[in-house]
Amino acid sequence: MSLKEIARLSGASVSTVSRVLNRPEYHCSDPALQERIWKYAQELGYLPDQAARSLKLGKRQENSRPLIIDIFLTRFQSLDVDPFFEELHAALREELLQNGCHLGQFLTLPDVTELSRNLSPFPSGQTAADGLILLGKCPSELIAPLKRRYHSLTGIDRNPTSFDYDEVVCSGLSAATAAMDYLVSLGHKKIAYIGDCSYEARYIGYYQSLITHRLPLDYSNIYPTSQTRQEGMKIMELLLQKEPLPSAIFCANDATALGVLDCLKKHRNKKYIPSIISIDNIQEAQQSSLSLTTIDIPKREMAHHAVKILLDRIHRGHKENIRVELPCRLIERESCSYVG
């Protein structure tokens, strides 16, 4: 497929298209343009130069066609609900194309639930995907049906499984602990939590940190949510009605924190300025009016390792389930400050 066709459809120059698709280290100054380029490259079945050369040199002798990889978003119905998964999906798509693979079906929970009712490995007439990448924690009851359908699975998440399949993780527990340690180092003692509380690693990290630092666990400062921007704003509206107000708020993800910041901006006349910290380091966290202090989850590196592990599994490079854990790191920005 000609680069000229992708350039025409995306509205970019041929040289820009070539740099985006064939130089993994290159980042276009216009993220929307880069997104369009990858979108059309995927739709048109383009293979980056390195992947195409590998095929020509016979490095994929077991496959006469590019590998097809499906992706299962385990938690939400759409990628735009949480920008973290949207950015992770974009990184995966680029990584797959760089490795000469084609992106197959994008599946959500209803899709996989329906597929699990089908006892045959693949529906009649459907091209079988060579592997599956799971974004988020897979419901335990779906693991066995997925393994019947896909011989090769790799998961990406903040919470490890019981080695049910290959996975790349960045510990939500460690990220939460880093966030709480930072707030405590700034002098905060009354810290609220907004996020999933269903025995989730980030919540566990929150309350374990309170115990470690000998701070009281006040359940009135804990707000369960589905971790979306809308929920963050809604919970912050509720929190503003309570007294005394916490000096800091730990949000389980950036999307929630951005909703909190939206609400505080709306009610700036209250002159309540808590320290806000979260987890993920999505692009918008740096671009918000008050740049967000967050714990970076290395999305591109996770995507890179997930694809490499999946390809190794497909090519029978390993048999036992493996786990790769990547470190998180604190990104200090404007949303946190010392207690006066």
Q: Which domains does the chain have, with CATH numbers?
A: 1-46 (1.10.260), 60-170+299-327 (3.40.50.2300), 172-296 (3.40.50.2300)
pLDDT at 57: 45
pTM of the model: 0.83
Across-strand partners of 331? 294
Instruction: Write phi, then psi, for 168 (nearest 5 degrees).
Output: -120, 125
Q: What is the residue-level pLDDT of the chain in tens, covering all 340 positions?
A: 578 888 888 888 888 888 888 776 676 778 778 778 877 787 777 777 655 555 444 444 444 578 999 999 998 888 888 999 999 999 999 899 889 898 889 999 998 988 777 645 544 445 579 999 999 989 889 999 999 889 899 999 988 888 899 999 999 999 999 999 999 999 999 999 999 998 789 999 999 999 999 999 999 999 999 999 999 999 999 999 998 999 999 999 999 999 999 999 999 988 999 999 999 999 999 888 789 999 999 999 999 999 999 999 999 999 999 999 999 999 999 999 998 6
For the stretch 18-23, contacts whose Cβ atoms lie closer than 8 Å and that sit 24 or more positions apart, written own/partner, are 21/46, 21/48, 21/49, 21/97, 22/48, 22/49, 22/50
Return the HEC string of the chain: CCHHHHHHHHCCCHHHHHHHHHCCCCCCCCHHHHHHHHHHHHHCCCCCHHHHHHHHCCCCCCCCCCCEEEEEECCCCCHHHCHHHHHHHHHHHHHHHHCCCEEEEEEEHHHHHHHHCCCCCCCCCCCCCCEEEEECCCCHHHHHHHHHHCCCEEEEECCCCCCCCEEEECCHHHHHHHHHHHHHHCCCCCEEEEECCCCCHHHHHHHHHHHHCCCCCCHHHEEECCCCHHHHHHHHHHHCCCCCCCCEEEECCHHHHHHHHHHHHHCHHHCCCCEEEEEECCHHHHHCCCCCEEEECCHHHHHHHHHHHHHHHHCCCCCCCCEEECCCEEECCCCCCCCC
The answer to whether the beta carbons of residues 270 and 181 sit under 8 Å apart is no
Asked if residue 180 lies in contact with residue 250, where contact means CB atoms within 8 angstroms, the answer is yes
Tokens representing residue 246 in the block: 């916490």
Residue 215 and residue 189 in contact, taking contact as beta carbons nearer than 8 Å: yes
Identify the CA nearest to 225 among candidates 241, 189, 249. 249
